[in-house]
Chain A
Amino acid sequence: MYPDKFEYFAPDSISKLEQLLDKYKDDSKIMAGGHSLIPLLKLRLTSIPYIIDISNIKDLNFVEYNDNLEIGPMTRTAEVASNKIIRDKCKLLSDAASKVADPQVRNMGTVGGDICEADPRNDMPAVMLALNAEFEVTNSKGSRIIKAEDFFEDAYTTALESNDILTKIIIKNTENYYGKYYKYTTLSSDFAVFAIAINMSLNGDKTVKDIGIGLTNLNNTAVKAKDAEDYLKNKRIDDKTCNDAFNLLLKSCDIEDDINGKKEDKEKILKDIFVNGLKGIYKVF
């Protein structure tokens, strides 16, 4: 299968990238690892006249920690999974990255591509929502910050304009947090049937200080289980609070019968995963 014809650019700096985006606007698209884009091009579900490969831009590939964890969008998923700083500072992110697709795909795929593609089945959007991450977005006119919460608008649709570049992923909720990514898949696919990202910190009295919950493939796009998060704050994790939180979490979901199962079966599995996940993380503290 061959993609439709396109012109290809591989700029080596952000300013050159900005120029190209300003010139070709909606006719262009940024390609990071290409593992969402190339399949779509091959199936001719989309056709893009100007493809701009950002893998040569060194300023988009970094992992740093100075008070906050800062990650360049071009960081490969395999690197996110194994990077020592990320492992130390953000268990949820390294756990989730290690569960993306398969090793070959992780070697090419990038964290930024996973976020910006915003496929509802992608793993990173829900993780970013659970982490309350912030995105530095840049275009030729300057930079601004968009919160993960305001970023994912619909399936394959984000707050990015056609000339915007995701230049930095900023994660503040690292110290004293612990989290995990619970991904439910069938054997035949590496995409999640659904998944839950949870990031938690506790008060001295063992009540929840802060919690972030992101949901993959349970709605048109990744969503934050806000009501469940708010409810759990300052509470202990026990059977009752888990149950109540799950009922609130369901409000953020739009679950239907589909090829993976009936609505009620999926809800049952989701509940098991959520409750065991919450309790599992709680026990670690």
Chain B
Amino acid sequence: MMVNIDVNGKEYKKDIEPRMLLVSFLRDELNLTGTHIGCDTSNCGACTVLMDGKSIKSCTVLAVQANNHKITTIESDDPKLDVIKQAYVDENGLQCGFCTPGMIMQTFYILENNENADEEYIKKNLRGNLCRCTGYKSILDSIKKAEEKMKGEISVSK
């Protein structure tokens, strides 16, 4: 089946099998291997990407479901993502890094939806992302740091 999917601002027209999962489309068809497959059963969130600005688990979405939609992945050059990535580096928000692309995309989603996300809100919205290394504390710190930075930059540009 022919699909037309916008990934990080670029349109891709491809002829694919309907059973192809979105995560395989990204990794195998487009060679965008930043999106990881952790559990493959919609539990871990390593495969999180945004579809039309909403976070989803790309291991549980068919690529054909993304037909005519906009997908944003960890490879996107959105400057806000750079701020988040740097915050994860600064706060040691990763160890092995396997969960990290999903964590960062979910962080992006959280901060896009709530400029004043407090700890409780962040925790609630990280429920779908598992990390086997960090114990989450440094991830929370990274998100808070990214949030502060973004606020700072907004007020500077104002």
Residues of A within 8 A of B (CB): 1-8, 10, 34-35, 38-39, 41-43, 51, 53, 55, 78, 101-105, 107-108, 190
Contact = CB atoms under 8 A, between A and B. Distances in A.
Nearest to A43: B41
A78 B52 CA distance: 14
B54 A107 contact: yes
Contacts of B56: 104, 107-108
B45 interface: yes
A34 B19 CA distance: 12
B128 interface: yes
A8 B1 contact: yes
Contacts, number: 75
A103 B41 contact: no
B42 interface: yes
A7 B21 contact: no
Given A5-B17, A38-B61, A103 B125 contact: yes
B18 interface: yes
A108 B59 CA distance: 12
B122 to A, nearest CB: 11
Interface of B: 1, 17-21, 24, 40-42, 45, 48, 51, 54-57, 60-62, 64-65, 67, 106, 109, 124-125, 127-128
A245 B37 CA distance: 47
30 contacts: A2-B19, A2-B20, A2-B24, A5-B19, A7-B18, A8-B18, A8-B62, A10-B64, A34-B60, A34-B62, A34-B65, A35-B42, A35-B60, A38-B60, A39-B41, A41-B19, A53-B64, A53-B65, A55-B65, A78-B54, A102-B127, A103-B124, A104-B48, A104-B128, A105-B42, A105-B60, A105-B128, A108-B56, A108-B60, A190-B128
A104 B128 CA distance: 7
A105 B106 CA distance: 12
Given A38-B60, A107-B56, A101 B128 contact: yes
B109 A103 contact: yes
